[in-house]
């Protein structure tokens, strides 16, 4: 079985500060891991994905995440927050070794607020 | 390249009614997945269709059903609507070929059940 736990339902940072959104996963098989962003009243946009190549994954909009197997973590970071980063962020997992015909299991989300 | 589209954008139904939501997959994609996102929660997998057949189902009752058509577009049908069915319904398309593993999401249909 697979699951994802996002630590902190709401994170608030100042503009220009470091963004750190935490995600821990559980998987009985090697996983694919994802971070998605959702802006108000919109669908999900893929930020980045881990598929067993480099453990440090770079995504869009300056975000990156590091896969740490020993800690079963996949935390999302961005060195300097921008007002436009305010959104809901979802960590997600699916089974590796399958095509995208595998279902994606999402965490409960973390709402990121940016203070001016 | 056309992305994933969904219709309608918003829908209001009464408890006990039936609803049909529609999804057009991205060009070249043959797999469609449906997710339910209740307010303040992450999306939950409903089911997936591949080559017009159901290919996996989440923990949803049989009154949630679907179809996939030869052009890979899809419908989600919900019978006997309940208040708890109020949610954003997301469709995602993907390709089962090769090592593709990404699902591309549409903007969603917001369903309100009163």
- From the candidates B103, B106, B110, B111, which should be mutated to test the interface with A, based on the most A CB atoms within 10 A? B103
Helix (H, G, I), strand (E, B) or coil at B93: strand
Q: Which residues of A touch B48 (CB under 8 A)?
A: 101, 103
**Residue in B closest to A48 by C-alpha:** B102
How far is the alpha carbon of B81 from chain A, nearest alpha carbon, in Å? 22
Sequential pLDDT tens for chain B (114 residues): 578 999 999 999 999 999 999 999 988 888 899 999 999 899 999 999 988 888 889 999 999 999 999 988 999 999 999 999 999 999 999 876 655 567 889 999 999 999
Separation CA A32–CA A20 (nearest Å): 20
Q: Which residues of A touch B110 (CB under 8 A)?
A: 41
**Residue in A closest to B34 by C-alpha:** A103
Residue closest to A102 by CA, chosen among A90, A111, A110, A93: A93
Q: Which residues of B touch A48 (CB under 8 A)?
A: none
Separation CA A114–CA A84 (nearest Å): 8
Can you list the positions of beta strands (E) in B38-108?
44-50, 53-57, 64-68, 74-78, 87-94, 104-105
Separation CA A75–CA B68 (nearest Å): 36
Tens-digit pLDDT profile for residues A77-105: 999 999 999 999 999 998 765 544 578 89
Separation CA A98–CA B3 (nearest Å): 23
């Amino acid at each position: 079985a697979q699951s994802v736990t996002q630590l902190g339902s709401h994170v608030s940072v100042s503009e220009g500060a470091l963004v750190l959104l935490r995600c821990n996963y559980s998987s009985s098989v090697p996983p694919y891991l994802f971070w998605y962003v959702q802006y108000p009243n919109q669908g999900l946009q893929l930020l980045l994905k881990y598929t067993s190549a480099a453990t440090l994954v770079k995504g869009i909009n300056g975000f990156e995440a590091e896969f740490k197997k020993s800690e079963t973590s996949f935390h999302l970071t961005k060195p300097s927050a921008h007002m436009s980063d305010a959104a809901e962020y979802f960590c997600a997992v699916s089974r590796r070794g399958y095509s995208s015909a595998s279902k994606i299991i999402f965490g409960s989300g973390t709402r990121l607020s940016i203070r001016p | 390249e056309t992305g994933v589209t969904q219709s309608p954008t918003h829908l209001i139904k009464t408890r006990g009614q039936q609803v049909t939501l529609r999804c057009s997959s991205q060009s070249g994609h043959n797999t469609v997945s449906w997710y339910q996102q209740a307010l303040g929660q992450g999306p939950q997998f409903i089911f997936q269709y591949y080559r017009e057949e159901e290919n996996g189902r989440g923990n949803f009752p049989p009154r949630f059903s679907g179809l996939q058509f030869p052009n890979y577009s899809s419908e989600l049908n919900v019978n006997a609507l309940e208040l708890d069915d109020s949610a954003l319904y997301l469709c995602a398309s993907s390709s089962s070929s090769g090592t593709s593993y990404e699902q591309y999401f549409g903007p969603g249909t917001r369903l309100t059940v009163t």
